[in-house]
Structure 1
């Protein structure tokens, strides 16, 4: 249970008293918590975002290793020149899957934490996938800059 201190506004992982200041902790769903400053909610989103990113990256490591090892195992049944090609291809696919998850986790967490509630899920997924394409130019808005 995530709880918020009523005195110092720190986010704690459960308990009754804050470990920093000794203040009373309340649940995030309490009506009293809705009056907390926005910085409290941003801190909570950062914590959840970091956990989400760690889980996605672990999944990428696990799935990439499984794909590589399964492909390596299956490639041994092929005739000799094709078994080497299959082994290299399966290991490469495992590394590629891991890299895709690793990069997507970083981008998703960054966008989820910073743009919470500002972007629809469909557009968010599309933006993350398009940002991973190498060589693609990213449009950036130049706000407030004057052209010379």
Structure 2
């Protein structure tokens, strides 16, 4: 049975395949692709903090919902995530996909906001991010989770 994240990516691709000229479909697909990758990141964080956690508990939901989009962006563009050779490409991909998601969700109605090639690239990037997060080894996963969930204090 496919996971919710796999289903989100598949639905985004299906939407564009069925409506390749629709600006609305392309915008929705870009947004859904970002959220699929974002949910994979949330699941990684919550699963790392509560490895035996039941997803139905308030504690699991609290950890799952801790990370927000601004914190994510800041953490990925700062040390040590920005300088980590494994995590830096993941961060770059997230920031680029997040910028596209913001453009898709908040730009005024306009035809051809995204080309079909751009949307295809964003879908591929989201899929690659999901895979990269799934394949992280324990030390890199630990660094990522700590720096995403526990931001540095301002000096």
TM-score range, shorter chain: 0.3 to 0.5
Choose between structure 1 and 2: higher strand proportion.
Answer: 1
TM-score of the superposition, structure 1-length normalised?
0.34
